[in-house]
Amino acid sequence: MIRQAIILAAGKGTRMKTETPKCAFPILKKPMIEYSIEALERAQVERIITVIGYKKEVFTTLLGNRVEYAYQEEMLGTGHAVMQASSLKHEDDSMTIIMPGDMPLIPAPLIDKLFRSHEEMGNDLTVVSMNIHDPKGYGRIERNEYNQVVGIIEERDCNDRQKQIKEVNSGTYIINTKLLFKVLPLIKKNTRSGEYYLTDIVKLMHQDYRVRTFIARSPEELIGINTLYQVSLAESYLRKLINKNMMELGVYMVNPDTITIGHNVVIEEGVTIYPNTTITGHTVVKSGAIIGPNTELEDAYIGNYSRVNHSLVYDSKVGEHTTVGPFAHIRSGANIGDHNRIGNFVEVKKTTTGDHTKAAHLSYIGDSTVGKNVNFGCGSITVNYDGVNKHQTTIGDDVFIGCNVNLIAPINISSEVFIAAGSTVTKDIPKGALAIARNKQVHKEDYYSHLIKPKHD
């Protein structure tokens, strides 16, 4: 059967106390709804409809055409939200998973298992439940004397006996799509809240259809996020799980409790990561690299046997056998070559460097194309901004740039050039030349004695 999904993401998430829609709030720097979508995609779900409402433009910008959209203009409950996804009903030979968009820890293997179990057991509706020690806040699974599922009772509607039930509703269901849109119109508005509850489909279906539960063995995978504290719990769970998997694959972590690795990061065996390091986005770290301590990588590529310590690398590439840091900042599409040294307090932005190029300390290199075997002296910078526009600097191979040199872009420095310390260069330099661009030193004799008045007793 065809696999489809409806993700419920229309709510604001009032308890989060942020302007960001709850399901777009980041978990380890990635919006929580992306975890669910990636899990569904890996579980071979062919069609995903996301029901959005509050700040819907956030989701359309974030997700683009990865999903289809349905809009819930009025917040009238989960049943009403699913009704907005009525375009799914045209797929008769299909089953649909309905899940909240605030469930970032659900893994793809579990979703696949849910679909297979639903189909193999011949269920019409599968309610994903879990047994937890403290069920407060959850809807309880109600069973009859034959252990058949007959309803889901919201906690505020539970009597004393029902409050003792430990099996609770996770908010996730799998249902045959054709039946879903046959039963949805039968849900009645709750007289107290004025909402349509999706949980009512159990009561409506249990007598005439095959309704069963799938009891999840790991309730933590089905945690829903409603508060910032629960965000921290989810991040803690993911951090430990990801770090454990990385270490089992041969990544050595010193004090892993202080190390944060994102969900989409790829780290090869033989990498060493030191404390207080954060690696997120679609970062790739190749074998033999050493990362940290006190380092942050986001959407970065770090080549084999390179070292990045006490530094930041964002949306950039670092080649092989290159040293970055301490206290370096590489960003905005920089591409650092092999055997480079980007040292103390050096910032590189939108720049490509060739092999064996060095900027050891106190430099800014922006909007530049730099060749191989180039040396930036201490304090040398590319002056790329004129107050209105950014301009390019091009530097050839085998160039020596002295200390405190200003290269005023746009400018072209040919190969085999020497630039004297303290120069402010405003013109292109031809191949093999020595450029000196500074005023002649002048001495004013007896300046001190004329400036400072003699002291009298």
Give the catalytic positions in this structure. Answer: 361
Strand partners, 140: 153, 168
Residue with structure tokens 């959209």?
Answer: 69
Give the β-pairing of 290-291 and 307-308. parallel
Burial of 315 (0-12, 13-18, 19+ CB in 10 A): middle
Torsions phi, psi of 33, nearest 5? -65, -25
Question: How far is 249 from 245, CA to CA, in rounded Å?
Answer: 6
Could you tell me what percentage of the chain is helix, strand and coil, using 3-state DSSP and rounding each to the nearest 5? 25, 30, 45
Question: How far is 83 from 64, CA to CA, in rounded Å?
Answer: 22
| Residue-by-residue DSSP string for 245-297 | HHHHTT-EESSGGG-EE-TT-EE-TT-EE-SS-EEESS-EE-TT-EE-SS-EE
Sign of the C-alpha dihedral computed for residues 28, 32, 36 and 42 taken in this order: negative
Cα angle for residues 173, 6, 139 (degrees, 5° grid): 35
| Rounded (10°) angle between helices 32-42 and 56-63 | 50
Question: How far is 114 from 243, CA to CA, in rounded Å?
Answer: 26
Q: Do 440 and 422 meet the contact criterion of CB atoms below 8 Å apart?
A: no
Amino acid at 301: Y
Amino acid at 104: P
SS3 115: helix
Give the β-pairing of 26-27 and 30-31. antiparallel
Q: Do 154 and 135 meet the contact criterion of CB atoms below 8 Å apart?
A: no
**And the tokens for 408?**
């005023």
| Residue-by-residue DSSP string for 149-181 | EEEEE-GGG--HHHHT--EEEEEEEEEEHHHHH
**And the tokens for 123?**
């269920």
